[in-house]
A = this chain, B = another copy of it.
Amino acid sequence: MIKIKIIAMGRLTEASFNLASSEYIKRISKFFSLTVTEIKPVQISGNPGAKEIENALLSESSKIIAEIPPKAYVVAACVEGKQLSSEKFSSIIEEKSTYGYDTICFIIGSSHGLHDSVKKRSDLKLSFSEMTFPHELFRVLLLEQIYRAGEILNGGKYHK
C-alpha cells in the first residue's frame, strides 16, 4: 500500500473544512496510509510587498523540503500546473507505487503559493482549476480526490 503524505501550510481554521477533512481522512484510511503534516506559515504584514512575500515563501520552503520523505514522488499544487481528470489522477497514484516510490507527497502552499525551489523539487505541478480557491478548501478538494482515487482503483461505485 503506497503511503500518501500531505504537507500543508497552516491549519484548517474553518470548522466546516475541518469537519470535511476529518471525514475524508477517515474514508481514505480504507485505501491508503495517509499523514498530514502542517507547517506554520511565516507571518507577513497585511499589505506585503513582493520582496516580503518572496522571503516568507523562501523561509517556508526549507521547512517544506525537510519534510519530503526520501523515496517520494512529489506533487506541488500550483495554479499554473497541469490539470488531470480524476481517472488520470488515480492512475498516477497507482503507477508511482510500482516505480520505486514508497510515498506520494502532496504540497499545498499558503495563500501566497509556493516558492520556486519547492516547485523545482517537485516531480509534478498539479492544478485543480483555473479558478482560485482558498487553500483550506483546496485541502478538502485534494482529500476528496485521494479518496476518489482509492474508490476508482478498487472498483467502487463512488466514482461514476
Chain B residues with Cβ below 8 Å from A140 are 137
When distances are taken between beta carbons in the complex, the residues of chain B under 8 Å from A16 are 16-20, 23
Contact present for B132 and A129 (CB under 8 Å)? no
**Is the CB of A139 closer than 8 A to any CB of chain B?**
no
Q: How many residues of A contact B (CB 8 A)?
A: 32
User: Closest B-chain residue to A112, C-beta based?
Assistant: B160
User: Which of A14, A16, A89 has the largest number of chain B CB atoms within 10 A?
Assistant: A16
Nearest-Cβ distance from residue A53 to partner chain B, whole angstroms = 10
User: In the complex the two chains form, what is the Cα distance from A144 to B112 in whole Å?
Assistant: 18
Expressed in whole angstroms, the Cα–Cα distance for A16 and B157 within the complex equals: 22
Binding site for B on A (CB under 8 A): 14-20, 23, 46, 83-86, 89, 111-112, 128-134, 137, 140-141, 144-145, 148, 157, 159-160
A-B interface, 6 closest residue pairs, ranked by CB to CB distance from nearest: A16-B20, A16-B19, A83-B130, A129-B129, A86-B132, A86-B131
